Chains A and B, each alone.
Chain A
């Protein structure tokens, strides 16, 4: 049998080859794990593949994923986002670049309601983009704000990525949620500061509405504020049930489904066809995720058995660099993987290998989890495959090209890197809330 180093090279090379052909990622990882199992253990090796896959169906925290996706799909169809956007226009009327600031604030609140990014970017693209383009905002500023704001959904709790990280690294998901909260607000503040400074320096980027700055009367303000009630209640309902000690994360997701149904009903948008459509969409989204993970867990299991994890961990530990250097090496690996792989596969394959190394170096796995999510967030925006940009493209006016969107997000990637650096230098930004409020 070949040594583990050669085996690793063969495995990585064949995985890249199979992926590039366009084979579904779940099949790629399944194929590689089957071949590895057969090569090392013959037919009995298949038993390992089967038992890894079967184990996945009993992962209770994973149940939170379909429930959060369902909640988001119902909310998307409930029209709550339109009301919220309208409510936040109170701020927009009063300053230059106001609609972009408004969009970012709406993004933060949406992020605190849902845990998936795709739906949020599509919603903002449908609601906020036409508004900004109509007012004559710079296209790049508008699109960058939407992609960056929408991707906050991954960092501000609840977050599906954190559920996956928590499962694979075996750390508390509710602590991870708490950890992501301040970094999420930090990024949002950076976005808002950037928007306001640029609009101050280059006023032509964000023309004021024709009627000038608007002063609302008290009654108008009160009417607009009503749009904030439902989102706030939903956020309290879901996060409150987790941190009030009433429900686990999975249970809170189910509670959220009912919150979303109630929100849709109160806006008279609830109907059987609507629910049916939300359920079908959920089944497709979750099905693609689960059949990808099935392959990934089979692979991770086999690779661990043949000594792969130990080999990579040994390599990382053997590096003659300070502990923080190891973190940078790991982030470098994540960035490289991010250019050609899906985040779910990345999480499932790399986290079980990296997490023990991180802990061994004396770092907090919750802190690393937030770093991991922030890295994934950068990948969401980055060319050539940044999914956030593809989502916005799917709802943007047809004359906007993908290249334009990728150019638009570049400054915001810069801001994300600043945020990431701050979190590395000051781990407290992540750790303070879990320490104060966590289990």
Chain B
């Protein structure tokens, strides 16, 4: 059991720390496009959709890492004043509602994804990549991993190994 929990943690850690490099790729491709268009007068057909897919992947797949670190943006006024048992119950409520929402969301994303995959949905531009298909699949996977991490957090919470809320400042 513990090995399984650790495996999910490690998977999401690995995914989170990997996808952050996609933002660099995003910057490189975008600058390449600007240079090609402005200096060589030959804009690429593919940069726009590649950037959307690369960036969208990073967005969709970073949710689970943030959930593991408990770094999502929330209002902590009441939470910070709760002590001991009260905090434990608050955490439980937060986890259960998050789980319910995330699993319904994952379920909601499933049919549109299957539809996009089976019909090989494409962007319809001149490059005509399967961008919508990829993004819909990634969002589904991202939500699924998010939900999976919530289950792990819940089990840890119930067995007394809960993760404290991250104090890392959310950005702005």
Contacts and interface: CB of A to CB of B under 8 A. Distances in A.
B52 interface: yes
Contact of A47 (B98, B111, B168): B111
A119 B109 CA distance: 35
Max chain B CB contacts within 10 Å: which of A118, A291, A384?
A291
The dominant DSSP class at the A interface is: helix
Interface in A17-58: 18-27, 30-31, 34, 46-47, 49-51, 53-54, 57-58
B171 A286 contact: yes
Contacts of B93: 21, 23
A34 B104 contact: yes
Contact of A287 (B27, B62, B104): B62
Contacts of A290: 59, 62-63
Interface stretch (A131-139, A170-178, A247-255, A404-412): A247-255
Identify the 6 closest CB pairs spanning chains A and B, nearest first.
A285-B171, A287-B62, A24-B72, A22-B79, A254-B30, A283-B20
Contacts of B27: 67, 70, 254, 257-258
A53 B72 contact: no
Contacts of B155: none
Interface in B134-172: 135-136, 138-139, 146, 168-172
A114 B75 CA distance: 26
B21 interface: yes
Interface string A277-295: 0011111111111111000
B107 interface: yes
A57 B60 contact: yes
Contacts of B108: 34, 46-47, 49-50
Given A57-B135, A284-B66, A279 B20 contact: yes
Contacts of B98: 23-24, 27
A88 interface: no
Contacts of A284: 62, 65-66, 69, 71, 168, 170-171
B112 A31 contact: no
A82 interface: no
Contacts of A49: 105, 108
Interface string A217-258: 000000000000000000000000100001100110111011
The dominant DSSP class at the B interface is: helix
A338 B163 CA distance: 29
B71 A255 contact: no
A250 B20 contact: no
Contacts of A18: 97
B158 to A, nearest CB: 18
A75 interface: no
Nearest to A343: B172
Given A22-B76, A46-B107, 4 more contacts: A21-B97, A50-B108, A57-B52, A288-B73
B170 A66 contact: no
B171 A23 contact: no
A289 B170 CA distance: 9
A53 B75 contact: no
A26 B17 CA distance: 22
Interface residues of A, number: 69
A287 B76 CA distance: 19
Max chain B CB contacts within 10 Å: which of A47, A283, A342?
A283
Nearest to B170: A288
Contact of B55 (A63, A342, A343): A63
A260 to B, nearest CB: 10
Nearest to B28: A254
Given A47-B108, A254-B34, A390-B169, A286 B62 contact: yes
Max chain A CB contacts within 10 Å: which of B31, B33, B168, B172?
B172
A282 B65 CA distance: 13
Nearest to A283: B20
B41 to A, nearest CB: 13
Given A57-B56, A254-B30, A286-B171, A20 B16 contact: no
Contact of B112 (A26, A51, A241, A255): A51
Interface in A334-386: 340-344, 384-385
Interface string B11-40: 000001101110110111011011000100
Contacts of B65: 283-284, 287
B170 A286 contact: no
Contacts of B94: 21-24
Max chain A CB contacts within 10 Å: which of B59, B65, B71, B171?
B171
A391 interface: yes
